[in-house]
Structure 1
């Protein structure tokens, strides 16, 4: 059957895998001439690819041979794989990379030195001010994309500052005047775009900031915020007014812990204290007023930028829009 122009343009290895009833990895091996398939299966996959007029994107052509087809996804030093945000991001990155014929493998922060031996490109998560990974990868000639704030090289991130500015403005419009920002290690001298958005909104109306800085723990962020805020509330004398009427949290996970601590202390959310988050994570954010970021779009843009990096194009930062989601807690 003759393929239309539109179907030709949109054919991907996912469609080939579906028609051949094989995994995406098998399609990738066949298209890239890799071992591990029978001659008959390889020929069947190649026949289907011709039938759908499959043509790899510019990014895939850059990654079509050898080690270059492998992309290392590198986690930050203080991050853990089991965080719901990273699980969701991993899922979308894996799909986006497979759709371009790329093979993702995962690296912990302390495995960065091994990455150039096993991968031809990288996507970096959880970058901090003192992060050595960009320097190490640049010295090794490994193209990479950062998911984080703008800086040297290629990067992509949600518009954190705009999101926190909007949600802080929303709370101010409700009449909240004692807004505290809840985040991790806020005393550390490094860019914190979500905190910047909160500060800008308060400065415009002449209100002072309040910061609740949480210690870093290799555990659930929700558990950390619950324990910290619970102890904080226990230190407030009976009858003494709360120092805040809204908690602007850096993530949904932190917000959920705060909501639980407030409720366990008999403090009504949101009539006494509003609580907001950021991310709009599936299931976790149910009932939570938050800022939604499009994680699937972040993953897709990361892969697009990776193709540009491998093609030697000029580095750029892409800031993706976010949206305010109103629910019960704020």
Structure 2
């Protein structure tokens, strides 16, 4: 028996046990409308009972592109970022549990997506992002990880998260807090920057910004380079070989970073200049990336929960249900850097 026929036989087994047609099994496995929710759950329960795990090839043969989900990254985001690696892994697992096949699409490949996939999950947000509207015009259901003006989306309470981190720094006695983030002058809605500003306004403090370009290569390297240049430009460093750089009266006493990756680059720059953390400068991040943020005070988001909720919303989009946005909570994790 060939691999394909073995999979087909399994589909027949699900249909036989459920007492339904092959078409109904396909609708249940693909999250398509046309059957009741009770029947869908019954069919999915049987598929789990017999441990049905369709291959990508078998899924294409059974239902074509309807079971394929295109995962589309933003304009300058690439899979090398630790955050996106984790999110992509969790999305892949969540989709496979629903019998669906994830396929990666770079931002400039969006036009190819409708030819290969029946739905999409959009990652990354940037000014002028037309992917959601473009897919909507072609009737391709999609879910955005972030905020959508009118469609399905799942995001974090980012504004509150940075508010918590900045308020924590204020409560620790910091009065010259710099927000470190990417492309802060762009018209994009910077929710984390807004949370930082909320806390500063509440405390009656002035904002200080370190805006970084959105580099494709490495976010940590970018923050390291820019903070290092700033520190050198202060003109308070010792130039004697073999001596640590010494700084007095720094113009900041804390760095509230938009991501853990940016925070790690800043920590490296501070360490290279002999600046004590948190004695002289406290540092916070956002994301709570496993291993990378073990000692970092940061805002924790549940990346697995984001992925699972995105897939649930995708099923609702495929079923033609009304669009909705879901906001997931975040939590401040206080560690050694503050």
Would you call these one fold, judging by a TM-score over 0.5? yes
Is 2:206 the counterpart of 1:208? yes
Report the CA distance between 1:157 and its aligned residue: 0.8
- Aligned mates of 2:302, 2:15 — CA distance in 1: 31
Residues 26 and 63 in structure 2, CA contact (< 8 A), matched pair in contact too = no
Mapped contact 1:225–1:258 kept (Cα < 8 A): yes
Partner of 1:311: 319
1:162, distance to aligned residue in structure 2 (A): 0.9
Name the structure 2 match of 1:77: 75
TM-score w.r.t. length of structure 1: 0.84
Partner of 1:68: 66
CA shift, 1:310, in A, is 1.2
Instruction: Give, in whole Å, the separation in 2 of the partners of 1:141 and 1:162.
Output: 34
Give, in angstroms, the shift of residue 299 of structure 1.
0.4
Assess if the C-alpha contact under 8 Å between 2:30 and 2:66 holds in 1: no
| Residue 280 of structure 1, aligned match among 273, 277, 288 | 288
Counterpart CA distance in 2 for 1:298 and 1:83 is 17
**Which of 87, 90, 93 matches 2:88?**
90
Is the contact between residue 249 and residue 255 of structure 1 (CA under 8 Å) also seen in structure 2? Answer: yes
The aligned residue for residue 120 of structure 1 is 118
Give a deviation string over 1:105-158, Cα, whole Å, max 9, x none: 000000000000000000000121201211211111101000012422011111
**SS of 1:260 mapped into structure 2:** helix
**Counterpart Cα distance in 2 of 1:320 and 1:59:** 27
Aligned residues of 1:159 and 1:322 also touching (Cα < 8 A): yes
1:293 aligned onto 2:310: no
1:43 aligns with 2:9: yes
Alignment of 1:106 onto 2:72: no
Write the distance in 2 (CA, Å) between the matches of 1:207 and 1:314.
43
Q: Structure 1 residues 59 and 281 mapped into 2: Cα distance closer, same or farther (>3 Å)?
A: farther
Q: Which residue of 2 aligns with 1:258?
A: 266
Q: Which runs of 5 or more structure 1 residues have no equivalent in the other structure?
A: 1-34
TM-superposed CA distance for 1:284, in Å, is 0.8
Counterpart of 2:222 in structure 1 is: 224
1:329 match: 337
Q: Distance in 1 between matches of 2:18 and 2:232?
A: 65
Following TM superposition, by how much is the alpha carbon of 1:101 offset from its aligned partner in structure 2, in angstroms?
0.8
Q: Secondary structure at the match of 2:102?
A: strand
C-alpha separation between the residues in 2 aligned to 1:51 and 1:254?
53
Partner residue of 1:186? 184
**Which segments of structure 1 move beyond 4 Å, counting only runs of 4 or more?**
44-53, 55-59
Q: CA 1:45/1:231 → structure 2, altered by over 3 Å: closer, same or farther?
A: same
Structure 1 match to 2:277:
269
Partner of 1:15: none
Q: Matches of 1:97 and 1:273 in 2, distance apart?
A: 43
Distance 1:52 1:249 in 2: 53
> Offset of 1:65 from its aligned partner?
3.0
CA spacing shift, 1:112–1:82, aligned 2, 3 Å: same
**Contact kept in structure 1, 2:256 and 2:285, CA below 8 Å:** yes
Aligned CA RMSD, in angstroms, stands at 2.3
- What is the deviation of 1:43? 3.4
* Count of equivalent residues: 295
| Matched residue SS, 1:82 | coil
CA contact under 8 A between 1:59 and 1:310: conserved in structure 2?
A: no
Question: Counterpart of 2:3 in 1: which secondary structure?
Answer: coil
Indicate whether 1:244 and 2:252 are aligned: yes
